[in-house]
Amino acid sequence: MKTPGPDHPIAITRNGRHVRVHFAGRVIADTCRALTLKEARYPPVQYIPREDVDMTAFTRTRRHTHCPYKGAASYFTLAVGDRSSENAVWSYEKPFPAVQEIAGHLAFYPKRVDAIEED
């Protein structure tokens, strides 16, 4: 486990905007409680509480990855009607203490969904 610091900063802030994720003509996530995670030089990622996501469209996959700063990530395939997007969503279900706030949240790959809107 590595701790974020000046050489690899991680900041988590509450996103004050309304965030919606669209896939296959459906709103999959709709929240005003998203967290924005900014990590080093990576693009910011919106982490959305599971309670604000339509979990009926998700199937857990066998894919798992490990981040030395955040922990083990689990992945989900998104499926609506005849469309699916494999491993489009990830979650740190038991994140390391430095990023504990993202527990119980999901993140979406922007190119694997139709849109992630913020207003």
pTM of structure: 0.96
The domain segmentation of the chain, as residue ranges, is 10-118
Per-residue pLDDT, 93: 96
**Residues contacting residue 81 through CB under 8 Å, at least 6 positions apart:** 24
Per-residue pLDDT, 92: 98
- pLDDT averaged over the chain? 97
Query: What does the pLDDT average to over 99-105?
Result: 98
Q: What is the pLDDT of residues 18-67, one digit of tens each?
A: 999 999 999 999 999 999 999 999 999 999 999 999 999 999 999 999 99
Q: Which CATH superfamily is domain 10-118 in?
A: Domain of unknown function (DUF427) (2.170.150.40)
HEC letters along 46-112: EEEEHHHECHHHEEEEEEEEEECCCEEEEEEEEEECCEEEEEEEEECCCCCHHHHHHCCEEEECHHH
Residue with tokens 């005003």: 32
Q: How many helices (H) does the chain have, and how many strands (E)? A: 0, 10
